[in-house]
Amino acid sequence: MKKYDLMLGSVLLAFCMLYGYLASQMNVRISTYPMFVVTVLAILILVLLVRTCMKNTADENFKLFGKVQKKQFSIVLGLCFLYVLLIDMVGFYTTTVIYLGASLFGLKVKKSYILITTLGFSTFLYLVFDIMLKVPTPKGIIF
């Protein structure tokens, strides 16, 4: 975990510097509090980095993302991204049906279950959000 904590600390420190820079560009009347908060954050990150450096390296072989099923994870994340991207263009319910079907297929669910889950869950969402709660879901070009 040591390597990853150092990585985390470095990324967060870079974020602090960017945030501090942006805050310094603002009017001093509104930037004092953000500057104070980011300074505290930077100090805490430095404490994390120092403590991590002082740790022994017993877990050197530990891989944070070692057990991640890369292909499966990419499919899920990719489909989630496409789903959100297409909602406004195609319409919420059409996109939901396509997303559910594609995801279940990608996750190797039996065909009969794909059909039942996709239709059943889309109908459930329609009944709860459209009929019951009257949420004006994006219609897009289809539905």
Partner 1 sequence: MSDVIFGFSQAFTFTNFLAAFASVAVGIMIGALPGLSAAMGVALLIPVTFGMPKDAALITLIGIYCGAIYGGSITAILIHTPGTPAAAATAIDGYQLTLKGSPGKALGTATIASFCGGILSAISLYLFSPPLAKLALNFGPAEYFWLSIFGLTIIAGVSSNSMIKGLISGCLGLVFSTIGMDPMLGEARFTFDISYLLSGLPFTAVLIGLFSMSQVLVLAESKIQKKSQSANVKDSLLLTVSEMKRITPTVIRSWVIGNIVGILPGAGASIASFLGYNEAKRFSKYKEEFGKGSIEAIAGSEAANNAVTGGSLIPTLTLGIPGESVTAVLLGGLLLQGLQPGPDLFTAHAKVTYTVFAGFILVNILMLVLGLFGCNWFAKIARLPDSILIPTIFALSVIGAYAINNSIEDVWIMFIFGIIGYFFTKFKLNPAAFILALILGPIGETGLRRTLIMHHGDIAPLFSSTISWVLIILSLLSLLSPIFMSKVEKLEGKIEKG
**Contact pattern for partner 1 over residues 5 through 24, marking x by CB under 8 A:** x--x---x------x--xx-
| Amino acid (one-letter) located at 78 | G
Helix, strand, coil fractions of the chain, as percent rounded to 5: 75, 0, 25
Query: Measured from the CB atom, is 133 or 141 closer to partner 1?
Result: 133
67 contacts partner 1 (rule: CB under 8 A): yes
Distance CA 125, CA 109 (A): 21
Shortest distance, position 46 Cβ to partner 1, whole Å: 10
68 binds partner 1 (CB under 8 A): yes
DSSP state of 133: S
Q: Which of 54, 131, 133, 141 binds partner 1 (CB under 8 A)?
A: 133
Q: Candidates 2, 4, 6, 82: give the one binding partner 1 (CB under 8 A).
A: 4
Q: Which residue in the set 2, 3, 6, 76 belongs to the binding site for partner 1 (CB under 8 A)?
A: 76
103 sits near partner 1 (criterion: CB under 8 A): yes
98 near partner 1 (CB under 8 A): no
The DSSP letter of residue 139 is -
d(CA 99, CA 83): 6
- 64 is a site residue for partner 1 (CB under 8 A): yes
Helices (H), 25-110: 28-54, 70-90, 92-106
